[in-house]
Homo-oligomer: A and B are copies of this chain.
Amino acid sequence: MSVADEIRSKGRRMTVQRRLVLDALHRARHHTTAEEIARQIRARHPQIDPSTVYRNLEALEELGYVTHTHLDDRVTRWHRADVERHGHLVCRSCGSEQEIPLRTLEPLGRRLRTEQGFRADLAHSAIVGICRECAP
């Protein structure tokens, strides 16, 4: 079953706008911003409103094709849901970003699960701190 058929089977619709957002996420290697996706799409299709891009990212996330993470403070980063998940370390001094395997974060996940009954998504927000180069 194609993605379009899957989407339709859930009572949603496959529009040209939705397809374009999905394509843009496929072309992007890593996490992109909604603004960047909107910029790319509007370069060829200026009539497509940015709000449509934001709404489609949300819809595609509900449908399970897309997720988002938060790297530095404000911006939301979007990416396909089928790429391997990983955590992020962000240096608040130099801004450098580093990926870490989820395995490193798992012990904390297990602890929160058993002690608090909380199922943590430890890849959702980057961990902020000071990187090796910036530490005195």
Contacts and interface: CB of A to CB of B under 8 A. Distances in A.
Contact of A125 (B70, B91, B116): B70
Interface string A100-132: 100011011001100111111110111111111
Contacts of A31: none
Copies of this chain held together in the complex = 2
Interface residues of A, number: 32
A91 B60 CA distance: 21
A12 to B, nearest CB: 21
Interface of A: 70, 73, 76, 89, 91-92, 98, 100, 104-105, 107-108, 111-112, 115-122, 124-132, 135
10 contacts: A70-B73, A89-B112, A107-B111, A118-B129, A118-B130, A119-B130, A119-B135, A120-B127, A121-B127, A122-B127
